[in-house]
């Protein structure tokens, strides 16, 4: 619906285009109001009952949609038997306050709260009332969700909301665990492949050595039959977001589409690549050469962070245009055993570092879950970078300035 537009791009014209659409065809719920309390209820006790009823209705509608494939609630469209008939808008003096009210009710009344639910007031110039409110509910990966006040789990069906069956509840409780396990297995298999000097699952002939592997994983990637459109890379005039500075034109392969640096095209033993898988996962790998020092071979922690942030600069526009679901980010330092981590900074912490060689063959930094990856990447990655520095006996990454900015960030 809305031809792939984000909620921030929806206009009055888009809402007018819904007239005649049935909620049984599209995963959308039409509401003539915004779950508001009528002002003409004189008795306080009755008003309390209506207020509770409206709260429960909002939480039921959002959780029911989140418990299936996601969808939309449009407040300010009249409907007859589920079919939108007229865009009227909602009665309100302050649309932004209405949005805040709805979000507060939903956050307080749904357990667990679905990731990525968005609310927006849309101005109307040709309707009875000046605003409509749109609620976007994405496919949930932490379902099932229940309404706190009733303790009930609901699901959206073609004829409205109903209680979830035991089979549906059982499936939802195991779904998130299954996705998590698939991601774990995928990461394990990729790390094992990268440990070998050459492997049929690796898209280029990599040089041997320590490797930095960054995986950006949309949760939708491991649902059955999930696939992204990689044909955009091969058209005559590809979209601007497919261009990555310093990377070659790339090529299609069995797994999807692969890129390597322009300077290393047609060279044996390349040092880095980007693989875009057909399910939306992006794998970024770089070989990092250790520096010889009197007490062993040294790897600079700042260099690892810089490589990771540069990878994000290259692939984030691609990822944002091909994937929409919440994201898992994994960072793996492969074949690192015996190396010594060093800051490269002339600091007190550096001088007091014990410079203990890493005892593990691979450092698998714990996953990072991100609802919206289109944010400040150095801030998103700080927990992973802190853990990386912990492995070198530092309490946290020393690459962050007092204002929270990263030393190697391009911002």
- CATH number at 47 reads 3.30.950.30
Confidence of residue 122 (pLDDT cuts 50, 70, 90): very high
Residues 160, 197, single domain; the answer is: no
pLDDT at residue 331 tops 80: yes
Instruction: Summarize the confidence of residues 168-195 as an average pLDDT.
Output: 90
Residues 206, 143, single domain; the answer is: no
Q: Which of 16-25, 211-220, 221-230, 318-327 has the highest mean pLDDT?
A: 211-220
Residues 155, 104, single domain; the answer is: yes
Given phi > 0 = left and psi -120 to 50 = alpha, else beta, which region is 21? beta
State the total domains in the chain. 2
Given 139, 164, 189, which residue is the final one in a domain? 164
pLDDT at residue 25 tops 70: no
Q: In this predicted structure, what is the pLDDT of residue 62?
A: 95
Residues 152, 257, single domain; the answer is: no
Q: In this predicted structure, what is the pLDDT of residue 410?
A: 61
Q: Which of 36-50, 155-169, 255-269, 298-312 has the highest mean pLDDT?
A: 298-312
Q: In this predicted structure, what is the pLDDT of residue 192?
A: 94
Q: Write the pLDDT tens digit of every residue in 316-329.
A: 999 988 887 789 99
Residues 44, 9, single domain; the answer is: yes
Residues 232, 335, single domain; the answer is: yes
Q: In this predicted structure, what is the pLDDT of residue 345?
A: 63
Confidence of residue 26 (pLDDT cuts 50, 70, 90): low
Residue 151 inside a domain? The answer is yes
Residues 204, 146, single domain; the answer is: no
- Report the side by side order of strands in the sheet with 340-342: 291-293, 296-300, 340-342
Confidence of residue 4 (pLDDT cuts 50, 70, 90): low
Q: What percent of the chain has pLDDT over 90?
A: 48
Is the model more confident about 374 or about 388? Answer: 388
Residues 46, 136, single domain; the answer is: yes
Buried b (16+ CB within 10 A) or exposed e, 167-200: ebbeebeebeeebeeebeebbeebbeebeeeeee
Confidence of residue 411 (pLDDT cuts 50, 70, 90): low
Range of the domain at 7: 2-164
Residues 63, 117, single domain; the answer is: yes
Euclidean distance between CA atoms 191 and 201, whole angstroms: 11
Question: Looking at the whole model, is its pTM more than 0.75?
Answer: yes
Q: Please answer whether residues 83 and 22 qualify as being in contact, where contact means their C-beta atoms are separated by less than 8 angstroms.
A: yes
Q: Which of 201-205, 259-263, 324-328 has the highest mean pLDDT?
A: 201-205
Residue 13 inside a domain? The answer is yes
Residues 87, 200, single domain; the answer is: no
Mean confidence (pLDDT) of the chain: 87
Closest CA to 92 of 139, 39, 56: 39
Residue 265 inside a domain? The answer is yes
Residue 169 inside a domain? The answer is no
Residues 201, 120, single domain; the answer is: no
Q: Please answer whether residues 303 and 343 qualify as being in contact, where contact means their C-beta atoms are separated by less than 8 angstroms.
A: no
DSSP at 4: G
Residues 253, 383, single domain; the answer is: yes
Confidence of residue 354 (pLDDT cuts 50, 70, 90): low
């Amino acid at each position: 619906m809305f031809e792939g537009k984000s909620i921030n791009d929806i206009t009055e014209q888009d809402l007018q285009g819904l007239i005649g659409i049935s909620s049984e065809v599209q995963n959308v719920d039409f509401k003539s109001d915004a779950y508001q309390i009528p002002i003409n209820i004189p008795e306080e006790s009755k008003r309390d009952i209506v207020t509770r009823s409206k709260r429960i209705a909002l939480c039921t509608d959002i959780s029911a949609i989140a418990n299936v494939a996601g969808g939309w609630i449009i407040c300010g469209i009249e409907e007859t038997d589920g079919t939108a008939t007229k865009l009227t808008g909602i009665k309100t003096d302050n649309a932004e306050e209405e949005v805040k009210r709805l979000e507060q009710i939903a956050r307080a009344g749904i357990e667990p709260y679905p990731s990525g639910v968005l609310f927006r007031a849309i101005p109307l110039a040709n309707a009875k009332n000046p605003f409509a409110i749109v609620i976007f509910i994405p496919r949930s990966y932490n379902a099932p969700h229940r309404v706190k006040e009733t303790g009930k789990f609901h699901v959206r069906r073609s004829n409205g909301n109903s209680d979830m069956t035991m089979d549906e509840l059982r499936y939802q409780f195991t779904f998130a665990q299954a996705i998590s396990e698939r991601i774990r297995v995928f990461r394990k298999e990729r790390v094992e492949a990268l440990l070998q000097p050459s492997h049929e699952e690796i898209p280029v002939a990599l040089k041997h050595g320590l490797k930095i592997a960054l995986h950006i994983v949309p949760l939708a990637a491991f649902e059955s039959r999930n696939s992204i459109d990689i044909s955009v890379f091969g058209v005559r005039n590809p979209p601007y977001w497919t261009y990555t500075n310093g990377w070659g034109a790339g090529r299609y392969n069995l797994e999807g589409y692969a890129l390597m640096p322009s300077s290393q095209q047609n060279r044996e033993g390349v040092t880095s690549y980007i693989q875009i898988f057909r399910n939306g996962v992006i794998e970024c790998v770089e070989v990092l050469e250790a520096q010889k020092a009197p007490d062993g071979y040294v790897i600079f922690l700042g260099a690892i962070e810089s490589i990771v942030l540069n990878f994000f600069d290259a692939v984030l526009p691609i990822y944002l245009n091909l994937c929409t679901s919440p994201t898992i980010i994994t960072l793996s330092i492969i074949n690192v055993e015996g190396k010594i981590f060093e800051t490269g900074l002339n600091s007190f912490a550096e001088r007091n570092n014990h410079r203990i060689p890493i005892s593990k063959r691979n450092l698998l930094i714990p996953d990072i879950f991100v609802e919206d990856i289109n944010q400040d990447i150095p801030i998103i990655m700080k927990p992973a970078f802190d853990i990386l520095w912990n492995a070198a006996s530092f309490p946290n990454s020393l690459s962050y300035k007092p204002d929270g900015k990263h030393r190697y960030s391009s911002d």
